[in-house]
Amino acid sequence: MKNNYLSSSDFEFHDDILDEFRDVLRKNGYPNNFIDKVIFFKSRNKNCNLPLTHRKYFSIPFIGRSTIIIRKFLQSLDEKICVSFRNYNTIRDNFFSKTKDRTSLLKDSGIVYMVECSDCPSVYVGETSQSLKKRISQHSNDVKNGIHSTAFSSHALENDHK
């Protein structure tokens, strides 16, 4: 936060900004040793000391020493790159799924489906806005009742396929 204020202001105002920042921290009950650490902290990532508008931020999961090597490599590609780390294995990730359970294929609607004839190599391709289970049931009923409403039922009835 301190760096954001400083990078968006002219150098001649930095002392006033730091004094104001120090006062805000004191008024909020922070101990002096903590305030000094915050005020005099310099990021080890030299790229993150650039003005805000000149930086490119990336967040990658921290998985050990190799992550630090990756950060150094990315920063060597462009001096404007600032890389931060995030947890990759959190309690939330372990207990809560980010995806919904899949619905049964038979309950899906608005799909394209294919039915192979069990008596010959013919194939029927259809599209339905209903659930697949309901549409297959309609095809079966059309064949049982002798109704030529689709190419599927016409093929089954004309070729005596049941």
**Neighbour tally for 5: CB within 10 Å:** 14
The whole-number pLDDT of residue 117 equals: 85
8 A C-beta contact, residue 110 and residue 104: no
* 46 falls within a domain: no
- 77-89 pLDDT, tens per residue? 887 888 888 877 7
Residue 92 and residue 117 in one domain: no
The whole-number pLDDT of residue 51 equals: 59
Choose between 153 and 78: higher pLDDT: 153
How far the first Cα of the chain sits from its last, in Å, is 74
The whole-number pLDDT of residue 141 equals: 92
- 57-67 pLDDT, tens per residue? 888 888 878 88
Average per-residue pLDDT in the chain? Answer: 79
- Long-range Cβ contact pairs of 129-134 (< 8 A, separation 24 or more): 131/106, 131/107, 132/105, 132/106, 132/107, 132/108, 133/106, 133/107
CA atoms within 13 A on the CB side of 14: 11
Range of the domain at 25: 1-41
Q: Give the 3-state secondary structure of 79-136.
A: CCEEEEEECCCCHHHHHCCCCCCCCCHHHCEEEEEEEECCCCCCEEEEEEEEEHHHHH
- 63 three-class SS: coil
* 87 falls within a domain: yes
Residue 88 and residue 129 in one domain: no
Quickly state the pLDDT bin for 44 (edges 50, 70, 90): low
**Average pLDDT of span 146-156:** 89
* 11 falls within a domain: yes
**Average pLDDT of span 111-139:** 89
The whole-number pLDDT of residue 134 equals: 92
Residue 56 and residue 37 in one domain: no
pTM above 0.75, yes or no: no
**Average pLDDT of span 121-141:** 90
**Average pLDDT of span 47-76:** 76
Residue 93 and residue 109 in one domain: no
Choose between 60 and 49: higher pLDDT: 60
Residue 60 and residue 24 in one domain: no
Residue 7 and residue 34 in one domain: yes
Name the domain count of the chain: 3
